[in-house]
């Protein structure tokens, strides 16, 4: 804080952090139920894997709050979506469906190249926006109201749809890590255009996470581990500090089981992801036992 005082002072006038929070302050923010953290299991791509995951979670006596499908709504049949919604309702977990996949929907396959990967899965052209809107309408009609978003422009449109009553007001829009955001200013912008929760970049450091929490109120979704394709690094020992400085927080757990993002999930993979949840829960119990998790059924 000794240098670049003019820039830091101006950020302060915007009610934004003057820099990264190296002092790692406690977060006093909570979910509406009083919880500091919830568990999310990403990469559950279909009803069979979801059934295996939930059965193993129950067998281990664990609680999860959110299951995320990342391959895209258009990769699922109506029957599969309905079956996953039914399982979510029975278990009282939130089901998040990804919008897309976009790269197979037009000529924007450059996202699969080393250069194109830098732009994430953002949409090209207004027709892509229209198609994304159609996927939301379709999933809402089938009973799903939570969505994984890869494009800021589409997020703004979805929020306008929500405000206009085109879709239910309780629709939840979760911003993906693949949009590449990792600072308080970006987080503030996403919150202002309708983000219900925000997933920062996977390798965000604790002091950066703490400063992001100071700027926004919506939950943060943070990877506790990662597939090999995104580094394969596991952050279980950092979880207690993640909770302390960044609550309310979704702990995204189980990703290290997969080789790549959106990897097809077998039933065995799903059960292994449940085991990873148990390993993270052990870290919380050992090093931050006073942390408050949201109760079962919190959405």
CB 147 within 8 A of CB 172: yes
In a domain, 56, yes or no: yes
The pLDDT of residue 236 is 97
Q: Does residue 142 belong to any structural domain of this protein?
A: yes
In a domain, 116, yes or no: no
- The answer as to whether 78 is a domain residue is yes
* Closest among 177, 142, 175, 145 to 161, alpha carbons compared: 145
Q: Are 202 and 223 in contact (CB under 8 A)?
A: yes
Structural domain includes residue 12: no
**CA distances (Å), 229 to each of 19, 96, 180, 260, in order?**
30, 22, 15, 5
- Look up residue 104 and give its DSSP letter: T
DSSP-derived 3-state class of residue 13: helix
Question: Is 46 within a domain?
Answer: yes
| Amino acid 104: pLDDT | 44
Calpha distance 161→157 (Å, rounded): 6
What is the CATH classification number for the domain harbouring 247?
Answer: 3.20.20.70
Residue 250 is given by DSSP the state E
For residue 260, the model assigns a pLDDT of 66
Is 298 within the bounds of a domain? no
- Tens digit of pLDDT at every position of the chain (299 positions): 668 999 999 999 999 999 999 999 999 999 999 999 999 999 999 999 999 999 999 999 999 999 999 999 999 999 999 999 999 999 999 999 999 875 445 555 566 666 666 566 788 889 999 999 999 999 999 999 999 999 999 999 999 999 999 999 999 999 999 899 999 999 999 999 999 999 999 999 999 999 999 999 999 999 999 888 788 889 999 999 999 999 999 999 998 887 766 567 899 999 999 999 999 999 999 999 999 999 998 88
- Within a domain: residue 111? no
Domain of 85 in residue numbering reads as 22-106+121-287
Closest residue by Cα to residue 247 from 97, 36, 84, 14: 36
SS3 content of the chain, % helix, strand, coil (to 5): 45, 10, 40
d(CA 142, CA 151): 23
Residue 40: strand pairing partners: 66, 252
Task: Give me the DSSP letters along 137-172.
Answer: HHHHHHT--EEEE--HHHHHHHHHHHHHTSS-TT-E
Q: Are 92 and 296 in contact (CB under 8 A)?
A: yes
Residue 204, CA distances (Å) to 20, 60, 214, 228 in order: 11, 30, 15, 17
* Total count of domains within the chain: 1
User: Which residues touch 240 (CB under 8 Å, ≥6 apart)?
Assistant: 283, 284, 287, 288, 291
């Amino acid at each position: 804080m000794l240098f670049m005082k003019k820039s830091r002072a101006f950020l302060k006038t915007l009610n934004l952090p003057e820099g990264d929070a190296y002092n790692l302050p406690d977060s006093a923010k909570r979910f509406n139920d009083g919880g500091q953290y919830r568990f999310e299991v990403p990469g559950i791509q279909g009803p069979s894997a979801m059934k295996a995951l939930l059965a193993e979670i129950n067998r281990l006596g664990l609680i999860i709050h959110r299951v995320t499908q990342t391959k895209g709504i258009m990769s699922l049949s109506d029957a599969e979506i309905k079956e996953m919604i039914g399982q979510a309702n029975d278990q009282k977990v939130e089901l998040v469906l990804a919008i897309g996949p976009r790269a197979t929907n037009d000529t924007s396959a450059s996202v699969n190249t080393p250069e194109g990967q830098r732009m994430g899965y953002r949409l090209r052209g207004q027709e892509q926006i229209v198609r994304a809107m159609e996927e939301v309408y379709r999933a809402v009609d089938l009973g799903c109201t939570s969505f994984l978003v890869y494009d800021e422009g589409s997020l703004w449109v979805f929020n306008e749809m929500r405000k206009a009553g085109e879709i239910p007001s309780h629709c939840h829009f979760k911003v993906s890590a693949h949009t590449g955001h990792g600072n308080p200013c970006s987080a503030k912008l996403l919150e202002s255009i309708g983000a219900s929760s925000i997933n920062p970049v996977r390798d965000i450091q604790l002091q950066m996470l703490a400063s992001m929490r100071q700027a926004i109120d919506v939950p943060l979704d943070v990877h506790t581990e990662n597939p090999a394709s995104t580094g394969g690094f596991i952050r279980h020992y950092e979880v207690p500090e993640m909770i302390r400085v960044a609550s309310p927080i979704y702990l995204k757990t189980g990703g290290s089981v997969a080789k790549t993002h959106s990897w097809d999930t077998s039933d065995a993979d799903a059960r292994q992801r449940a085991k990873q949840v148990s390993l993270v829960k052990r870290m919380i119990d050992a090093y931050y036992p006073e942390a408050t998790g949201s109760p079962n059924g919190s959405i």
